[in-house]
Amino acid sequence: MRLINKELKSMKWTLIATWKMAAEGMRLAEANLRKSGSADQALETVITAVEKDPRFHSVGYSGLPNQVGVVQLDGGYMNGDTLSIGAVGCVEKVASAFKLARHCADQQFNNFLVGEGAAQFAVQSGMEMMELLTLEAQMIYEQRRAEPKPLSSYKGHDTVGVCCLDGQGTLAAGTSTSGLFMKKPGRVGDSPVCGSGFYADSEIGAAAATGVGEEIMKGCLSYEAVRRLQQGQDPQRAASSLVAEFTRKLIRKRGRAEAISLICVDKEGRWGVGTNIKFAFVVSDQDHPARVYVAEPDQDGCTIRAWNDTDQDVD
């Protein structure tokens, strides 16, 4: 949906996504954006490309399961024109948590569905259903369960998060994840929680988070990033200072801070990133094709550089 008071002329578009795994979908989405495609279409292209790719074990098909060997997905979506949101949590056997979340946003009520109710809605809505646990993911699960040390959550990256400003001035944000490996059944992280895992307002900006959801939810970081944009901070300062400040607060209050990374884009198409780990992300805009970058924390927030072959430890 477009706001009726938007200018008809084409505007600058920008697309940013978490992790190198989003690169292939980004290249498909940017081709559509160059033809006046919408932010919603771009999000779906990027996210579903990751969801259906069995190489990636933290999102969708071939996602790593919970403690009882079941893959449970979370996803979220927000349209910045209308502030419509959709979200699903702990949903099983749905091919795309993001598509289901986006469909939830079209409803007047029942925008956030979980568990069996979310799966039933997916079936009623004609969504693709499938077995998500692949042989490779099951083997990883069985190997981990056989280890003598106590079960613990996967410490690598998880969520694919995307923010887009399209050529019509619409901002949107979306997420999808299978969550932490070996999580307790029913566990939900930040990814489907509006204001924590994602947020978008076409008058200001959009943001999405990835990392340990229990940490990200403590600061409602996606909403806070957009709020800082509204106060006049540029996106890079808003994202990097927010993650650095919140990491210090967690350490001061709790003695430690888990992985947190954040992407954002403002209504002018400028983007920013914040992180407290080594973090890869992908950016594309009307003047530049999709390119992978790496951000690492430093005293001033974070340092950003192009990804290279020595960065195989972060993808």
Question: Catalytic positions, please?
Answer: 159
Q: How many CA atoms lie within 13 A of 142 on its CB side?
A: 7
Consult the annotation and say whether 188 binds a ligand. Answer: yes
User: How would DSSP label each residue in 118-167?
Assistant: HHHHHHHTT--B-----HHHHHHHHHHHHSSSPP----S---EEEEEE-T
Got the DSSP string for the chain? ---TTS-SS----EEEEESGGGHHHHHHHHHHHTTT--HHHHHHHHHHHHHT-TT-TTSSTT----TTS---EEEEEEETTTTEEEEEEEE-SBS-HHHHHHHHHTSSS--EEEHHHHHHHHHHTT--B-----HHHHHHHHHHHHSSSPP----S---EEEEEE-TTS-EEEEEEE--STTPPTT---STTSBTTTEEEETTTEEEEEEE-HHHHTTTTHHHHHHHHHHTT--HHHHHHHHHHHHHHHHHHHHS----EEEEEEETTS-EEEEESS-EEEEEEETTEEEEEEEEEEETTEEEEEE--GGGTT--
Cβ atoms of residues 86 and 102 within 8 Å = yes
Establish whether 48 is an annotated binding residue: no
190 annotated among ligand-binding-site residues? yes
45 is in an annotated binding site: no
- Is position 210 annotated in a ligand binding site? yes
- 232 in a labelled binding site: no
Angle at 21 between CA 205 and CA 229, to 5 degrees: 15
102 assigned ligand-binding residue = no
- What tokens appear for 201 in the block? 């307002």
Per the annotation, where are the binding residues for substrate?
A: 187-190, 210-213
Q: Which residues are annotated as a binding site?
A: 187-190, 210-213
